[in-house]
Structure 1
């Protein structure tokens, strides 16, 4: 930095600027073998990157397909405070989940699939799926009680002033996919139910891939009613995968007469030609 004003810039700020400019260059022109060891040696103890540098890092990791760094990246995001309710940071969560989803799921070892699912559970724990009206009912008894402790009162007011995390169809879809890959039906189904209860206000519907993954797990674990609900949603969204969904459940042995009637009704109401080509039992 040239110019006489540079002497007024604190050393810590200069250091942050140095690493910011350095990593911008490295992400563009260098290779992972040089970049990642340096990143791990300075973040977060020496250098606290901005959201723009984090996004550059994600692009770098995605371009080079650095699967071994995905979990470490999640730890960095937590330590650096990028996992919260702020709009920009929600974008970081969306991009990070896309990074996990884009990896070749079929070739991943079981341990890595479990790690990805555990990250999904951490997101759910940090941002619980509590409908607003239920949350208000839970808060009402507390509001009627007199707070004897001023510190508790201030803490409560602070929590209420914080923006609620807004799940989108994209985030729900990615979480469902990661959790179903690890055979976690309970958690993935709770996400699906959240979608059903809030689909009129949610941004984006669920993806085909997440619905089909949840359907496969439902059939695998013999949850027939849930499987039919998923197929109804696929039909409602007019997804081309409906024919595959119908065929998948149709081949299941544990369908009773009512289940098969419901399956035929879905097929009959479909506007997709491919769905009517499926021969139901």
Structure 2
């Protein structure tokens, strides 16, 4: 017992020492030999150079108050409007292109190699001419680097000098030329320019762009004997650039010669079936024939085959046939163990959720199937899913709950990488905000608005109009000054319909001074009106906005409702009176009446008579105005004479 109490009183870190050293009071203890420790070294895990950065990035979420990383983090260099975002992004890439041009034009200044080992990308580019000493190794290296222009030049130089080019090298060059259609591609580094270029060429995609009789066909003719790989390269190139008839003819020719093509070649032809046949029945029949040929050649379909079929089915004008065919395709590929990608679901939405077709809830089944999953890019159309799904939620079903499920899926894992380019991202959030402003309470909507605008999404004029109408319906007049500030930043102040709507909402909804949120609202609305009036004479890059009499009348009304802005209101009235022959329309009678009432309060009979003079000149209602002036002021002889000259003695004698 004594030993136990003694041990309890000792600090714990000293107990082991005393027992080991034998310094206890009554007995000595000997320590047992420590057990042999076994250290197991784990296997080395291969890491990429960015794994640490990705791990750090995974610990934080996206900051909605911060701009995109492609913009400079400087208040004066952060774009807010859509035009500014596009201009800033392209300007940054233009600077990089200029720097690259300097490096190529003055390569003698960049011969030093600071990095060890040397970084080939930073080295000056080799310049090839027709006199350059080239060989098969040079051509092979250029093809591996994807340098199309130099590879073609070197090939032509080798042909001119009689240097033999192997069939394998010709095949590699043929594949590259067919892939790019012998047109120098935009470097992958210029992401923004490629995105905006693709969006501007959307209308040109249905036209044939294949270069007939160009290098690709010459290379194909030079390969003897013809191989399945040569057929496959030319078929895919022609199909990609919509030389449809010849691509299909080459496929038939290869089949007749007994050459077995690959799955990708059949996928390319299935994608253009809609351009080969006119009716839905003919297209579906041709698809079945192509699938039968694949079966006969024992070719295994893949995800590209399924998406090519669904893409073709999505072009069927016959809705019933399209839906039936799609429901046949999905189980067949499921039996083959091929799981749909986001691109597959995109085509299903196109097939089932058509504008003039019965309402379909296929998106509910899709979301139930993929909820909580993280996707990787597997097909070029995968980036179309989220924008299309949100469009279906808004325009086809008008379902807020589904829209939030789509948004939750987008922010699961790294799925945001599949939102697509800046255009698709804008379409996604355009539909999302438009749906929320129609279905949510104004407070909940404004919280979402604060998270997205302006760094993630800048509302277009159409969406801003829907937001204004939602504020009008909910009577959220206190939000108008803030929305107007955003409109100024987004460069929407040149939109006449938006200005009319803003003025109408503020004029029709008078502030309730009993509410704390409305205490300063009159002054804020007056500032908004003054901002609009100040923009009349400002030079604009857009077409100059023509203010109508109704707009100026609303501006006048908002100014007179704020007692401190009466002087500005008189300036507006003076402008209306001076420019009355140029301004289309006239202010509302109520606007002049409120101005006269304010003039009575401010004891300014001269200004009230100016309003009456304007009403008389434009054949407006004058009886009420004259009565207010006569009852509200003690007029002197000059003012009384002016009033008599405007409305006559008969009115004053009543």
- In the superposition, the TM-score normalised over structure 1's length comes to 0.75
| 2:592 paired with 1:211 | yes
Question: In structure 2, what is the equivalent of residue 39 of structure 1?
Answer: 449
Instruction: Please say if residues 557 and 594 of structure 2, whose CA atoms lie closer than 8 Å, have aligned partners that are also in contact.
Output: yes
Identify which of 534, 541, 545 aligns with 1:125.
534
Identify which of 12, 35, 56 aligns with 2:422.
12
Question: In structure 2, what is the equivalent of residue 188 of structure 1?
Answer: 569
SS at 2:520 equivalent: helix
Question: In structure 1, what is the equivalent of residue 21 of structure 2?
Answer: none
Query: Following superposition of structure 1 onto structure 2, how do residues 225-264 of structure 1 map, counting pairs within 5 Å?
Result: 225-240=606-621, 242-264=622-644
Question: In structure 2, what is the equivalent of residue 151 of structure 1?
Answer: none
Judge which range, 118-127 or 100-109, deviates more: 100-109
Query: Following superposition of structure 1 onto structure 2, how do residues 125-204 of structure 1 map, counting pairs within 5 Å?
Result: 125-128=534-537, 163-183=543-563, 184-204=565-585
CA distance in 2, matches of 1:237, 1:181: 24
**Alpha-carbon deviations, 1:43-66, whole Å to 9, x = none?**
111111111111111111101111
Structure 1: tracts of 5 or more residues without a match: 130-158, 270-275
CA distance in 2, matches of 1:76, 1:253: 42
Describe the shift of the 1:128–1:63 C-alpha distance in structure 2 as closer, same or farther (beyond 3 A).
Answer: same
Question: In structure 1, what is the equivalent of residue 520 of structure 2?
Answer: 111
Describe the shift of the 1:204–1:106 C-alpha distance in structure 2 as closer, same or farther (beyond 3 A).
Answer: farther
CA distance in 1, matches of 2:482, 2:633: 43
Describe the shift of the 1:97–1:268 C-alpha distance in structure 2 as closer, same or farther (beyond 3 A).
Answer: same
- In the superposition, the TM-score normalised over structure 2's length comes to 0.34
Instruction: Please say if residues 346 and 382 of structure 2, whose CA atoms lie closer than 8 Å, have aligned partners that are also in contact.
Output: no
**Alpha-carbon deviations, 1:74-133, whole Å to 9, x = none?**
12111211123xxxx12211211111111124657441101111112222333348xxxx
Structure 2: tracts of 5 or more residues without a match: 1-344, 348-378, 385-419
Instruction: Please say if residues 113 and 182 of structure 1, whose CA atoms lie closer than 8 Å, have aligned partners that are also in contact.
Output: yes
Instruction: Please say if residues 219 and 249 of structure 1, whose CA atoms lie closer than 8 Å, have aligned partners that are also in contact.
Output: yes
CA distance in 2, matches of 1:166, 1:253: 36
CA distance in 2, matches of 1:280, 1:106: 39
CA distance in 1, matches of 2:480, 2:633: 39
Question: In structure 1, what is the equivalent of residue 461 of structure 2?
Answer: 51
CA distance in 2, matches of 1:126, 1:161: 12
SS at 1:264 equivalent: helix
Aligned CA RMSD, in angstroms, stands at 2.6
Instruction: Please say if residues 44 and 79 of structure 1, whose CA atoms lie closer than 8 Å, have aligned partners that are also in contact.
Output: no
| 2:475 paired with 1:65 | yes
Instruction: Please say if residues 477 and 505 of structure 2, whose CA atoms lie closer than 8 Å, have aligned partners that are also in contact.
Output: no
Greater relative CO (CA pairs within 8 A, separation 6+): 1
Describe the shift of the 1:12–1:253 C-alpha distance in structure 2 as closer, same or farther (beyond 3 A).
Answer: closer
CA distance in 1, matches of 2:484, 2:455: 16
Question: In structure 2, what is the equivalent of residue 156 of structure 1?
Answer: none
Describe the shift of the 1:93–1:160 C-alpha distance in structure 2 as closer, same or farther (beyond 3 A).
Answer: closer
Q: CA deviation at 1:176?
A: 0.7
CA distance in 1, matches of 2:653, 2:430: 60
| 2:646 paired with 1:266 | yes
SS at 1:195 equivalent: helix
